[in-house]
Chains A and B, each alone.
Chain A
Amino acid sequence: MVPTSYFIILSAILFVLGAFAFFVKRDLITQFLCIEVMLSAANLAFIAFAKSASSLDGQIIVIFIITVAAAEAAVGLAIILLVYRQKKTIKSEDMNLMKG
């Protein structure tokens, strides 16, 4: 039996990695994937806590979060596609029409 704290540490590492890479990476799709990694980290934490407390809530919450992530992916990729069609680039430093 793997202790719960291992899962939590793993999920914390995943979360911090995702947040860090979000700022470092310069590609919109990669940044979007970083957000997905962060959501997965939260999912892992929820599952681990639900298992250790043997309650069902956490598992149902994970289903909700997965659904939300899928809807977010559809909307987000559509927006990225829209931007790509206008600018022919998906580098985040090229998103600079507005300044001040």
Chain B
Amino acid sequence: MNSLNAMFPLLTLIVGALLVLILEVSIKRENKTYLAFISIIFLMICGFFCVQSWGKDFSYFNNHLYLDNFALFFSIVLIITTILVTLISMKYLSLQNTNVGEYYALLLLALSGMLIMVSSSDLIVIFLGLEVLSMSSYTLAGLKRDDQKSSEAALKYFLLGSFASAFLVYGLALLYGVSNSTSIAVIIDHFKTESSLSFMAFAGLGLVIVGFGFKIAVVPFHMWTPDVYQGAPTPITAFFSIGPKAVGFAVLVRLLYPFWHVAYDSEVIFSLLWIISALTMIIGNLIALRQTNIKRMLAYSSIAHAGYLMVAILSQDTSSLMFYFVVYLFMNIGAFAAVIALGKKDKEYLELDDYAGIGFKYPWIGATFAVFLFSLAGFPPTGGFLAKFYVFSAAVREGLVSLVIIGVLASLVSVYYYLRIIVYMYMREPTHEVDINLENPALFLVLFLCLYGVLQLGIFPGNILLIIKQAVSSIAFL
């Protein structure tokens, strides 16, 4: 249905971002927390619009913006991510001497880019959304302007990110050349009529997949991830580990699912992705083993999780992919929130040694962090177990047994480095004094919400599965 309603979530975000920017420069106040509250209000309005258009299939701009339930589901997941990230940033920014109001505006702009990406099926519009997201992300990574690591992270993210988008654009140019359109549906239709893929179409599709591979950080396009994740401000790292990944996979779903059924040479692309998925799971987990910096370790762990998600893409099971994302959102933001909780003025505790004895000194933070780590490793009472179980059982149904064996072995390896943190927290004597700033109600709210989410999804996943079913049945391959 062609209606202006399709624009409302985006318009809300843009108005919010502009308002935050203008307020930032016109009201000179040291404390920027009020900007966080304003942006949370706008995020909630945006979420309200998304919930309201559930099942109504609004579209605008000749279907270049199409809000099917699949897009709305991802939009809502991303809005929740941004709200949680805004909450954990509030205190962090003033503690870490990064007190800039533009932070919240850039978060809103990044979110609007992601909403454009998930709700379009035209590759050029997706590219524009990606650039809106990337440009805000480069800036966000470098916002700790006095910290050399942060600037270096921004630089690396910028260089490799724009390198990847150049690949993406060239791939789009080739696809445009073979099919005279950038709409996914027309491109797929064109593939249907050809008996075998021409070299140009094959190269175009390959380049597009490489471009998105950089964004979702799968091996061998993952080199930037650890450095960027380590250098960026910690709440932004949490944001990077979920947002760009979620939209990258959403676009891959839209692009690849119709492709599997039509093209004659899809086996080549399939086996390439198979190799990428296996490599991502193995290498991500193995390199994570020898990390001592927590942020860097979580970066490699997020690479490994991209590998598990790739298994879901290969087994063509959208619902397990979406469930995995919901669980991943809660457990990853929770883990990063716990890392942020261990900080004080101008100091973050990020090395493994700092975590010795934390479990007894700060029992609440230690216990919740342990639950998130169990969930990331995939232990039964938590959501992480169910998410992995759904992905791997869908893969077995599709006959990808060897890939599942690799995945299960890789996640066994991952248990070691997740549990190592817990061992440090509860079984090592602290080597030096770690005192932290505990006056951070928003952060503890986020910890509680994430804990609730992880346990709820692990024990009673019924409701969310019902919603996912509705969303999957309505994917529009325009």
B105-162 contacts to A, CB under 8 A, are 124, 127-128, 131, 135, 138-139, 142, 145, 148-149, 151-156, 158-159, 162
Min CB gap B239→A, angstroms: 17
Contacts of B167 in A (CB 8 A): 19, 38
How many residues belonging to B are interface residues under a CB distance threshold of 8 Å? 42
A31-61 contacts to B, CB under 8 A, are 31-32, 35, 38-39, 41-42, 45-46, 48-49, 53, 55, 57-58, 61
A1-31 contacts to B, CB under 8 A, are 8, 11, 15, 18-19, 22, 28, 31
The answer to whether B180 touches A75, judged by C-beta atoms less than 8 angstroms apart, is no
The answer to whether B162 touches A53, judged by C-beta atoms less than 8 angstroms apart, is no
The answer to whether B139 touches A95, judged by C-beta atoms less than 8 angstroms apart, is no
Min CB gap B380→A, angstroms: 32
Across the two chains, which residue of chain B brings its CB closest to A39?
Answer: B166
B231 within 8 A of A: yes
B 277-298 to A, binary, CB cutoff 8 A, 1 in contact else 0: 0000000000000111100100
Contacts of A100 in B (CB 8 A): 226, 290-293, 296
Q: Give bound CA distance, A39 to B135, whole Å.
A: 16
Which residue of the partner chain, among A48, A53, A75, contacts B139 with CB atoms under 8 Å?
A75
Min CB gap A13→B, angstroms: 12
Min CB gap A21→B, angstroms: 11
Q: Give bound CA distance, A97 to B182, whole Å.
A: 41
Whether A38 contacts B148 in the complex (CB less than 8 A), given A28-B159, A79-B142, A95-B156, comes out as: no
Min CB gap B171→A, angstroms: 9
Min CB gap B165→A, angstroms: 8
The answer to whether B166 touches A18, judged by C-beta atoms less than 8 angstroms apart, is yes
The answer to whether A8 touches B177, judged by C-beta atoms less than 8 angstroms apart, is yes
The answer to whether A42 touches B227, judged by C-beta atoms less than 8 angstroms apart, is no
Which residue of the partner chain, among A28, A38, A57, contacts B155 with CB atoms under 8 Å?
A28
B172 within 8 A of A: yes
B interface majority secondary structure:
helix
Q: Give bound CA distance, A72 to B293, whole Å.
A: 31
The answer to whether A82 touches B154, judged by C-beta atoms less than 8 angstroms apart, is yes
Across the two chains, which residue of chain B brings its CB closest to A52?
Answer: B177
Min CB gap B138→A, angstroms: 6
The answer to whether A49 touches B155, judged by C-beta atoms less than 8 angstroms apart, is no
B169 within 8 A of A: yes
Across the two chains, which residue of chain B brings its CB closest to A90?
Answer: B155
The answer to whether B176 touches A49, judged by C-beta atoms less than 8 angstroms apart, is yes
B291-308 contacts to A, CB under 8 A, are 291-293, 296
The answer to whether A61 touches B162, judged by C-beta atoms less than 8 angstroms apart, is no
A 59-85 to B, binary, CB cutoff 8 A, 1 in contact else 0: 001001100100110011001101100
Q: Give bound CA distance, A98 to B295, whole Å.
A: 12
Contacts of A31 in B (CB 8 A): 159
B270 within 8 A of A: no
Whether A97 contacts B152 in the complex (CB less than 8 A), given A42-B169, A45-B173, comes out as: yes
The residue among B180, B292, B296 with the most chain A CB atoms within 10 A of its own CB is B180
B181 within 8 A of A: yes
B61 within 8 A of A: no
B230 within 8 A of A: yes
Min CB gap A99→B, angstroms: 9
Across the two chains, which residue of chain A brings its CB closest to B290?
Answer: A100
Contacts of A49 in B (CB 8 A): 173, 176-177, 180
The answer to whether A45 touches B174, judged by C-beta atoms less than 8 angstroms apart, is yes
Min CB gap B437→A, angstroms: 25
Contacts of A76 in B (CB 8 A): 138, 158-159, 162
B221-250 contacts to A, CB under 8 A, are 226-227, 230-231
Min CB gap B280→A, angstroms: 18
B360 within 8 A of A: no
The answer to whether A58 touches B154, judged by C-beta atoms less than 8 angstroms apart, is no
Q: Give bound CA distance, A72 to B379, whole Å.
A: 43
- 28 interchain pairs (CB within 8 A)? A11-B173, A15-B170, A19-B163, A19-B167, A28-B159, A35-B162, A41-B170, A45-B176, A46-B173, A61-B172, A64-B128, A68-B131, A72-B162, A75-B138, A76-B162, A79-B139, A79-B155, A80-B155, A82-B151, A82-B154, A83-B151, A97-B149, A97-B152, A98-B149, A98-B230, A100-B290, A100-B292, A100-B296
Q: Which 8 A-B pairs rank lowest in CB-CB distance, beginning with the nearest?
A: A38-B166, A45-B173, A42-B169, A49-B177, A42-B170, A42-B173, A98-B227, A68-B131
Other A-B contacts than A18-B166, A57-B181, A97-B231, 17 sampled, CB-CB below 8 A, are A31-B159, A35-B163, A42-B166, A42-B172, A45-B174, A45-B177, A57-B180, A76-B158, A76-B162, A79-B142, A79-B158, A82-B142, A82-B145, A83-B151, A98-B226, A98-B227, A98-B296
